[in-house]
Amino acid sequence: MPDWARTIARHWLYETADAIRIGALKASGDPEVAGLAEKIDREEAYHRMHADMWADRLRDEARFRSAVDELWPSALGLLEPGQRDRLCETLGREPVDPVERGEHTEELRPLWEEMTMVRRSVPGASW
């Protein structure tokens, strides 16, 4: 059963972690990377506001809180090891063993099959 509170918890954790990652990219020595990150950051401001607005409304809901607890290890895994303390500080949470990127759940396979079906059926096609 899809759960709105869980969707918002995931969205909010992702945006909060992503802000730390984009902040690091903005400080890149490669001007192209830094320039893109600066532009992405301005667009992301709207995504963060959207996530914060909903998280504020749901903050005291039991379903939202348990979803945040459940997804917290995945949120930590979004960041490089050196950036994870920042996320703990930002959210005031204790570090746990992160779920590292690349550890996909079984839901990914059928989704990937479907999303790439057309491209795989006619390799090299352009439209």
Partner 1 sequence: MVTVERVWEALGEIPDPEIPAVSLVDLGVVRAVAVEGDTVRVEFTPTFLGCPAVEVMREQMARRINELGAEAEIDIAAEGWSSDRITPEGRRKLEECGFAPPAPGGAPTTLLQLQEIVSRCPYCGSEDTRLENLFGPTPCRSIRYCSSCRQPFEQFKAI
* Given 1, 43, 107, 117, the residue binding partner 1 (CB under 8 A): 43
Q: Does 97 bind partner 1 (CB under 8 A)?
A: no
Which of these segments, 5-13, 49-57, 69-77, 101-109, binds partner 1 (CB under 8 A)? 49-57
> Rounded distance, CA 120 to CA 98, Å?
34
Which CB sits closer to partner 1, 105 or 126?
126
Nearest to 21 by CA among 52, 48, 1, 46: 48
DSSP 8-state secondary structure symbol assigned to residue 29:
S
| Cβ neighbours around 23 below 10 Å, total | 13
Nearest to 42 by CA among 20, 12, 22, 17: 22
Q: Does 60 bind partner 1 (CB under 8 A)?
A: no
Q: Does 127 bind partner 1 (CB under 8 A)?
A: no
For every residue of 91-111, DSSP letters joined together read: HT--------TT---TTHHHH
* Given 45, 108, 111, 115, the residue binding partner 1 (CB under 8 A): 45
| Min dist. Cβ of residue 50 to partner 1 (A) | 6
Question: Where on the chain is the footprint of partner 1 (CB under 8 A)?
Answer: 31-32, 35-36, 38-40, 42-43, 45-46, 49-50, 52-53
